């Protein structure tokens, strides 16, 4: 049961990253809604797998900008040893706004850093030791949500 809760929280965290990113000033209510009411379209969700790594990438697009997201998980055997997510925004102001929102939300776990247009989240401690299968299932669920 604890493993299921952890997996669900992980999925929600990744989805939360998707809704806060790609801020813009439009709102035509025709698609997914971001954290500020902006329509967010997710394109190109892709999972790459090697023996020791899983990588989920996708792009969030609004009329006001875009954000490329990359979630990289490294494994030793079947256990996660490193989990890093990067979000690279088309506008530095969007990166700053999202970074401030993450810092203000006590539910967001991980260590956040901002460098220009890129936010990096190290959430290794939260998921350390999680199985590759659980991480892959979470990534596949995220990909399936946005694959038409």
Distance CA 135, CA 4 (A): 11
Residue 46 reports pLDDT greater than 90: yes
The mean of the pLDDT values for the chain is 80
pLDDT bucket at 55, cuts 50 / 70 / 90: very high
**Alpha helices (runs of H) in 25-131, residue ranges in sequence order:** 92-104, 124-127
* pTM, to two decimals: 0.75
In angstroms, the CA 18 to CA 24 distance is 13
The arithmetic mean of pLDDT across residues 64-72, rounded, is 94
Q: Which two tokens stand for residue 135?
A: 């991480």
- Digit-coded pLDDT (tens) for 119-147: 999 999 988 899 999 999 999 999 998 87
Continuous segment of H or E residues that includes residue 135: helix 132-146
Place of tokens 């490329």: 68
């Amino acid at each position: 049961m604890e493993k299921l809760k952890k997996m669900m929280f992980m999925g929600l965290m990744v989805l939360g990253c998707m809704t806060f990113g790609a801020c813009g000033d439009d709102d035509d209510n025709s698609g997914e809604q971001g954290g500020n009411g902006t329509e967010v379209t997710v394109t190109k969700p892709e999972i790459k797998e090697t023996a020791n790594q899983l990588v989920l990438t996708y792009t969030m697009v609004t009329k006001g900008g875009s954000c490329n997201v990359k979630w990289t998980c490294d494994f030793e055997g079947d256990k996660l040893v490193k989990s890093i997510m990067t979000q690279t925004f088309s506008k530095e102001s969007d990166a700053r706004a999202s970074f401030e929102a993450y810092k203000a939300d006590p539910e967001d776990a991980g260590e956040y850093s901002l460098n220009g247009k890129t936010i990096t989240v190290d959430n290794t401690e939260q998921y350390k030791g999680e199985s590759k299968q659980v991480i892959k299932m979470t990534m596949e669920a995220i990909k399936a949500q946005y694959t038409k």
